[in-house]
């Protein structure tokens, strides 16, 4: 391995690349003379934190030396807010860098990598379960494939604190919130299931001002998403917060809570906790995935009447709560395309009682009086809504 200085003689930052014996070389000297090359700087937000002028240094080096060479320079970082700042107009790298967000595997790709038959309703349902647990992280999906089932993944993944299922979440927390104790506490409150500003304040034990500051930081990092009711009547103050990453949501809810048991040699208690609470947790955790799937399907599925935005609806009292409301257009809605329910029970289908309840709830959604009724069910339906979607339909949205 060769330790490579970005600028000869400065010794300010180091990167790792393949080459000759252990020695320090300027990057330009380390590049091959007979062909193109790639220079990767990993953990760039951390490097920038320890050298605030690093992007300015890179800009000078690029303009003076690297721009004329057949070289691709890649800056890698998980903090999206910091990485996005690099390409803003006021920053040295403006006009020189092109942003590329590399997301996790989709529901469909995760299921395929796990070896599932996604044409089967049972396997498609398992693919959704696995996605809620792994978040599409390739390393975790590979562990899921080795385990052979979601249940076995939980059992193996919670066996000790060194497994990927346990350690990945801890690394995320340590990397994203090394000193921001308040933001980490707020994230844990949201991960525990608190969704409203008031409830999070009480759970986190901080003032409203501190909570606002922490929520801004979490949203800037894309760790937390703020949802508002979807209808023809905007309600921007009725915000609900949720952990954006399915894996981190699972980790905060189940894994971190079970660390003490795992460390004292009782992982069976942590596994039992998942088994006991998985059903109710899954029923709510799957809703954002369902909404994204229906948004993807709406462009080609006439039953969804061209919905451009799919969300939920709730009043100030939170009663009733409507799982699915599709509207179009997305910015200034003029039509409620459909109203729907997510019924994600293991063995009970969407039935007549569910349909009657959905029709009753529809009357509360502003502008939805005559909108079609849509059911999303894990176990089929005995009632007849205007449209019905199951696990295979949802997974196919990522084709």
Contact 105, 138 (CB under 8 A): yes
Across the range 267-275, mean pLDDT stands at 97
Per residue, what are the HEC states of 291-344?
A: HHHHHHHHCCCHHHCCCCEEEEECCCCCCCCEEEEEEECCCCCCEEEEEEEEEC
Render pLDDT for 360-372 as a digit per residue (tens, 0 to 9).
999 999 999 999 9
**What architecture does CATH give domain 158-284?**
Orthogonal Bundle (1.10)
Mean pLDDT of 163-190: 90
Report the alpha-carbon distance of residue 333 to residue 337 in Å, rounded. Answer: 10
Domain boundaries, the chain: 2-85, 158-284, 287-396
pLDDT surpasses 60 at 351 = yes
137 secondary structure, DSSP code:
-
Q: Give residue-wise pLDDT tens across range 302-343.
A: 999 999 999 999 999 999 999 999 999 999 999 999 999 999
Statement: residue 3 has pLDDT above 90: no
C-alpha–C-alpha distance, residues 47 and 41, integer Å: 9
Residue 356 has pLDDT above 90, yes or no: yes
Token pair 């295979």: residue: 392
pLDDT at 12 over 60: no
């Amino acid at each position: 391995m060769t330790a490579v200085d970005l600028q000869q003689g400065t010794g300010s930052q180091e990167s790792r690349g393949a080459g000759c014996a252990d020695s320090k070389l300027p990057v330009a000297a380390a590049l091959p003379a007979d062909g193109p090359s790639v220079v990767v700087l990993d953990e760039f937000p951390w490097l920038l934190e320890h050298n605030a002028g690093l992007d300015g240094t890179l800009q000078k080096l690029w303009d003076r030396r690297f721009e004329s060479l057949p070289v691709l320079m890649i800056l890698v970082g998980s903090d999206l807010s910091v990485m996005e700042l690099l390409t803003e107009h006021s920053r040295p790298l403006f006009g020189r860098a092109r942003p590329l967000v590399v997301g996790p595997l989709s529901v469909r790709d995760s299921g395929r990598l796990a070896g599932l038959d996604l044409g089967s309703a049972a396997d498609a349902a398992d693919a959704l379960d696995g996605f809620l647990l792994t978040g599409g992280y390739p390393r975790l999906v590979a562990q899921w494939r080795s385990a052979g089932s979601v249940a076995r993944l939980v059992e193996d993944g919670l066996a000790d604190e060194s497994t990927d299922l346990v350690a990945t979440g801890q690394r995320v927390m340590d990397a994203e919130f090394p000193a921001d104790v308040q933001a980490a506490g707020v994230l844990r409150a949201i991960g525990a299931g608190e969704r409203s500003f008031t409830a999070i304040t009480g759970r986190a034990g901080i003032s409203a001002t501190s909570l606002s500051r922490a929520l801004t930081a979490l949203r800037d990092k894309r760790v937390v998403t703020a949802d508002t009711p979807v209808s023809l009547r905007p309600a921007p103050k009725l915000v609900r917060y949720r952990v954006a990453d399915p894996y981190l949501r699972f980790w905060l809810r189940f894994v971190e809570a079970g660390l003490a048991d795992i460390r004292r040699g009782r992982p069976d208690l942590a596994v039992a906790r998942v088994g006991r609470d998985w059903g109710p947790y899954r029923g709510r955790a799957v809703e954002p995935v369902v909404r994204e799937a229906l948004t993807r399907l709406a462009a080609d599925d006439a039953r969804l009447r061209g919905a451009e935005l799919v969300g939920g609806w709730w009043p100030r009292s939170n009663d009733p709560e409507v799982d699915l409301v599709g509207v179009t257009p997305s910015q200034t809605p003029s039509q409620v395309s459909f109203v729907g329910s997510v019924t994600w029970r293991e063995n009970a289908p969407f039935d007549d009682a569910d349909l009657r309840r959905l029709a009753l709830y529809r009357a509360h959604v502003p502008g939805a009086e005559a909108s079609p009724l849509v059911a999303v069910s894990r176990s089929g339906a005995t009632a007849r809504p205007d449209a019905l979607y199951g696990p295979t339909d949802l997974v196919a949205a990522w084709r």
